[in-house]
A and B are shown apart, each in its own frame.
Chain A
Amino acid sequence: MNQADIAWMLVSTALVLLMTPALAFFYGGLVRSKNSLNTMMMSFVSLGVVGVLWALLGYSLAFAPGGAFIGGLDHALLRGVNLEAKGTIPHVLFMCFQGTFAIITAALISGAIVERMRFSAYLVFISLWTLCVYSPICHWVWASDGWLFTWGALDFAGGTVVHVNAGVAAFVAAIVLGPRKDYARQAFLPHNVPFALLGAGLLWFGWFGFNAGSALGATPAAALAFATTMLAPAAALVVWTLLDLMRNGKITAVGAATGIVVGLVAITPAAGHISPISAILLGGIAAIPSYYGLVFRARTRLDDSLDVVAAHGVGGTVGALLTGVFSEKAWSGVADGLLFGNPGQLGIQAVAVGATLLYSGVVTFGLLKLVGVLVPLRAEATDEGLGMDVTQHGEEAYMDGEGAILVLHEREAVVSPALASAAAGGRS
């Protein structure tokens, strides 16, 4: 074991964990105020549910020795996950690091179904999804006996495993759930754009752990991934603002936040495989299809509310394919891409994306139908109108507390004289 590696991976794990609360702010700022807590809770609750499930079973299905398609049960209930070395770090740290990826992947899907999905149905869905979709795909790509790994598919930090995977699941979930009740009749505006910017900034910060941490050590490869993670989103942000300027004549803040996320998504599979200059190209190129995907999506009946498909599905796919173009053995020591005389790599990348699209799409559809049999997937239409915060959680994000009466026991209410008269006045 290497102590420098352990130190960096401890920090990286904490950084990636922070990305899920960051996502909560990014998504929470983009919805209407009456649904902001519900939206943020969809990310926060993943920290708990997926975190526990990962330790109990998910990690084993992803990383225990098994077949080409799924891991075995050797590490179920964390059996054998101890302080012994896994690579150059303790096995238990490796498990935690990978767990933070499972947590955020499940949370990413929520962006497609916010403002309408029943919270209990969401909980059951992400639980099953983590075990049935995330763990197997994670095994294909990152376990040493996974079929895409042995084939030589390049996915440094999870372009296919995390982003293409969540993007497809989001696409399917948005279709199965159907659009929000006033979709295309009313404008749904972000209630707190500063939250969206805060979320995007914290995501970028956490992403250094996500990408540079995926080197699994304090190595030169980590430094390369760090540099590309800084440059690609920077380029995506610049291109996004230019596209905004061309289309609307103004550079928007929501656009800037989105551009950053798209750049981060796109560099994820390529992070430790391409040169820093290529990263600038990759980030800039990736902004274009996501930008127009987002514009196009808004004109359709597909209510992918926070554009998970355009940002993560399209961004992840473009990033995974461009990894096959820009990969440079001189930098990574792993494989060359199309531009460096190895066109076959692009084909392998395409197969990895295609397999993820197919498997995640089909299984997500089946799981949603299954959950729909147990619990209605959608909240009641009246609850949707009132807002998901009050109806699903019994809380409100923003209120002045006026007219709140303390309930000490089930039926007995203590009313201050001022409030009592106010209430009586209201009834007259």
Chain B
Amino acid sequence: MKLVVAIFRSERLSAVLEELYRADVQGLSISRVQGHGGEREQVETYRGTTVKMELSEKSRLEICVSNHFVDPTVKAILKAARTGAVGDGKIFVLPVEKIYRIRTGEEDQAAVTPVGVPSRS
């Protein structure tokens, strides 16, 4: 079981969700984060005050998957989130010690297998 954390451009979010859906990956969390990945800062002007926006809006996706789903998940994100310019983001794959499904109390593999799909553990 792995936790896949991806931080990428917010404007690619719809494309990423679409690609994950195609790869049959379900059950994820999205949050809006601010960060800096070395890209050129956006310059904005308000009433004569010019500012460089050091932090830019990014999307952070967290998804816990069984081992055989790690590869399709990562590939889907790589494909959909990439624009080729600096600031496309990162994907982190982390080991997971223990998982519980709150509703049923199921653990580990069973807890990350979507309802209705027989567990392949």
Contact = CB atoms under 8 A, between A and B. Distances in A.
Given A382-B83, A404-B52, A426-B55, A394 B34 contact: no
Contacts of B52: 404-405, 407, 413
21 contacts: A182-B14, A185-B14, A390-B44, A394-B42, A394-B45, A402-B34, A402-B55, A404-B44, A404-B51, A404-B53, A404-B54, A405-B41, A405-B52, A407-B51, A413-B52, A419-B54, A423-B36, A423-B55, A426-B35, A426-B36, A426-B37
Contact of A427 (B18, B38, B41, B53): B38
A403 interface: yes
A248 interface: no
Interface of B: 11-12, 14, 18, 34-38, 41-46, 49-56, 83
A385 interface: yes
Interface in A394-410: 394-396, 402-407
A381 to B, nearest CB: 10
Nearest to B36: A426
Contacts of B34: 402-403
Contacts of B46: 395
Contact of A403 (B38, B49, B50, B54): B54
B55 A403 contact: yes
Nearest to A390: B42
Contact of B44 (A186, A385, A395, A419): A395
B104 to A, nearest CB: 32
A185 B22 CA distance: 14
Contacts of A413: 52
**Which label, helix, strand, loop or mixed, suits the secondary structure of the A interface?**
mixed
Nearest to B51: A404
A11 interface: no
Interface of A: 182, 185-186, 382, 385-387, 390, 394-396, 402-407, 413, 419, 422-423, 426-427
B14 A186 contact: yes
Contacts of A385: 11-12
Nearest to A385: B11
A419 B54 CA distance: 9
A413 B73 CA distance: 41
Given A386-B11, A427-B36, A407 B54 contact: no
Residue among B38, B46, B50 with most chain A CB within 10 A: B50
A426 B33 CA distance: 12
A186 to B, nearest CB: 5
Contacts of B49: 406
B100 to A, nearest CB: 32
Contacts of B56: 403
B54 A405 contact: yes
A108 B25 CA distance: 44
Nearest to A424: B36
A394 B14 contact: no
A6 B12 CA distance: 56
A422 B55 CA distance: 9
A395 B55 contact: no
B48 to A, nearest CB: 11
B83 A423 contact: no
Contact of B45 (A185, A395, A426): A395
Contacts of B14: 182, 185-186
